[in-house]
Amino acid sequence: MLIWIGTIMGGVVVLALAPFAWTRLAGAGRRPDIAHVPHRPVAVVLGAAAWADGPSPLLARRLDLAVRLIEEGKVDRVLVSGDNREVSFRETDTMTGYLVDQGVPADRVEADPYGYRTWDTCVRVREFYGVDAATMVTQSFHLPRTLALARAAGIDAVGVGDSSLGARRRSTVIGYLREVPAAAKALKDAVLRPAPAMAGRPDPRDT
């Protein structure tokens, strides 16, 4: 009886971790350090919390990586994607403003204000912004899932991750823990391929 219980529990654990393993395998060999990132036409910076006075520390660290990619000629432009509603403190406006303040020319920054979640971002930048090759930029704990979904959406993606553990330990640990259940949802998205919450590019009059 105990053997059967152990076998069943072991199977449950394997099934629970399978999506997490998929995200790691899908991004294997595609997460170089920034010095060895191959050139891509665009860096896609995924949104995170914005505050009333600017980007949150984790979001700022993502954006700093994008600045480096531009400065070192690793990408030609930056596409920021996030939730630009007032309730989210206009993430993409905040991201764009930060990049410009850091010296990135405004005409090399584009914003997708409807990147409400990772799958939406990947599908939208591929279908509505014409991105078929990109360097995805986010925190290291989020990067494998991002690459897995970007590739599922048809993007030839590599990724650069911010190793935030030393700077934001609590947020980073929580981020790693959340990746296990988030991977299951990601695999579901990759298989079922739901449409993003918003289709098309925004009307400039609404941004």
Domain harbouring 67, CATH code: 3.40.50
Strand order in the sheet with 109-112: 109-112, 75-81, 40-46, 133-139, 156-162
Q: What is the mean pLDDT of each run of 10 residues along the chain (207 residues)?
A: 49 60 88 94 96 94 98 98 94 98 97 97 97 97 96 97 85 87 92 93 65
What are φ and ψ of residue 72, in 5° steps? -90, 5
What gap in Å lies between CA 116 and CA 25, rounded to an integer? 25
Q: Tell me what pLDDT residue 8 has.
A: 45
What are φ and ψ of residue 110, in 5° steps? -130, 150
What gap in Å lies between CA 61 and CA 178, rounded to an integer? 20
Q: Which of 158, 116, 120, 152 is nearest to 137 (CA)?
A: 158
Number of independent structural domains in the chain: 1
What gap in Å lies between CA 19 and CA 22, rounded to an integer? 5
User: What is the domain extent for residue 134?
Assistant: 2-206
Q: Are strands 109-112 and 75-81 parallel, antiparallel or unpaired?
A: parallel
Q: What is the pTM of this model?
A: 0.89
Q: Tell me what pLDDT residue 13 has.
A: 44
Dump the DSSP string for 137-199. Answer: EEETTTHHHHHHHHHHTT-EEEEEEE--TTTSHHHHHHHHHHHHHHHHHHHHHHHH-PPPSS-
Tokens of 137: 């930029």
Q: Tell me what pLDDT residue 16 has.
A: 59
